[in-house]
Structure 1
Amino acid sequence: MVDDKDRQSIDAAKLYYGSGFSQAEVAARLGLSRPTVSKLLGHALERGFVTITIHDPRERSDELVAQLTARFKLADARVVTTPAGGTLLTDLGSAGATLLEELVHDGMTVGLSWGTTMCSVSEHLRQLPLQGVRVVQLKGGHSHSERSTRDMETMRAFARAFNATTELLPLPVIFDSAKAKDWVTRDRHIAGILELGRSVDLAVFTAGAIAPESLALNLGYLSAAETQEIMDHAVGDVCSRFFTRTGTIAAPDVDARTVGITLADLKGRPTRVLVAGGAEKTQAIRVALEMGLATHLVIDQQTAQRVLDL
């Protein structure tokens, strides 16, 4: 429902953003005060009547892009530069969303992981007039702790942006036993979603660091001994599959209890977008790229240089 404030904010936005008038000029044309116009422009942004996209040519033309694509045989890479006072997560989310808007088209199946980076990507997606898109959850995301995976929130935002239907996995990603996991995944509905995840046209995911505060280690799935095993042997995870420095599975018993796409199945998808950054993720990103898990990469400048220097 569009109310009077919405209408005024749209009129103000058209004059300010579309016609290039100053806020004072907009105020004079609409018979309002300049502070009121400023508030209306803010309201237009909050309501989604106006979206602002920043195209940074450095994301594509930087020498780091050429080095990354050549070294890791990538189809494309975007390297973001976060200004002083900026937020890395916001920049990764914005660049990731821009790349996905270029890649997703009618009739595609899009597989999603979860986490703070993925949620940031979802928050920056614009609504596109697509048809026949299906968004598939690649792994379970229910938390047994106070930490949230934000999986449902991320799925809903992707679905809104791409005018898509969703296929949800309302399960924990790691079960207490392999037997329980096998029993649940034999369910016809769950098995169908997992099979769809294995065959998506495009997968978008992040890489997780291994640290005591890591989200994947604080969802109530793991015992203290299992957490220590992962801390001792893993350098990162993709889709909650923990891997070692050489790309092997770090905790086979935990992996056997994990519900979601395997690294082998992920690697078989035609388009695979890895969005990740930050110094603590350097080794995880490097190994994921060496394993060939990504065809497209979104990363920040400093981490990109660290990945190449390892």
Structure 2
Amino acid sequence: MGSRAGVSVPPWGLAVTAMVSVQLGSALSVDLIGQVGAAGTAWLRLSMGAVIFLIIARPPLSRVRRPDVPVLLGLGVTTGLVTVGFLSALEYIPLGTAVAIEFLGPLTVAALRTHSARALVWPGLALCGVALLTEPWHGEVNLIGVLYAALAAIGWGIYIILTQRIGDRFTGISALSLTIPVAALTAAVIGVPQAVGHLDFGVLAAAAGLAVLLPVLPFALEMLALRRMTATAFGTLMSLEPAMGLLLGLIVLHQQPSPIQLAGILLVVLAGAAAQRGGRRTPDAEPAHSTPELGPTR
């Protein structure tokens, strides 16, 4: 028997690469935010991503039923708002802190789905971690940045619920060719006025590159990873994302965390890993073609 050519990348390697792409795209967006604003960056990035998805994934219009329409629209609008909220937070607070606060959304959803009161301890533990990150006792909390990140957290929680419903109806990444254009239009409401007058070839090229880093590459890698690992294992691995945000914030943006902030990130990561242990759907509730929960296009 012949062996397969090339080296097989383990699924955890694909998932970690997706995380790096997400956080690198977020860190590199900071420069573009300075030129066209947070909403302008969100609009440009989502618009470029929408074009790419329309090219690589044919919109499944023939499969869309009337009950699917509000869910698809809701998912697109939520994606747009999450992206605007998260990028707006980066104007005021460090990347690692913004990711940790945003992570409270999916963490709470995972805890609530266990139908156990004891599971609510994990969002509480993560909240303690966020408190260590923001250090409110110093009186230097940037409330605007925290509120933007909290908006993104709420949106991410809603996104997960809607994504699961869409994943039960459509295979692969085809639904993204429907929802990402809606997300781009949502971000355009605020983003176009911010970006107008600041667009040039350099800005558009930067936006196209960022769109590849986020959302195109992460979704493709996550889809490949999810075919070869359980949703629970994937979710537990993705709990490392706040730590990844802190690391890339340090490397790319030179945002130096304090020891107490490092302890805060550790609490968030531990809470995320623990919450995912009971968050897997049962076989009866999980169709064969369903897509497990994915992160948003931040």
User: Normalising by the residue count of structure 1, what TM-score does the alignment of the two structures yield?
Assistant: 0.26
Q: Greater share of helix residues, 1 or 2? A: 2
Q: Greater share of strand residues, 1 or 2? A: 1
User: Normalising by the residue count of structure 2, what TM-score does the alignment of the two structures yield?
Assistant: 0.27
| Greater Rg over alpha carbons, structure | 1
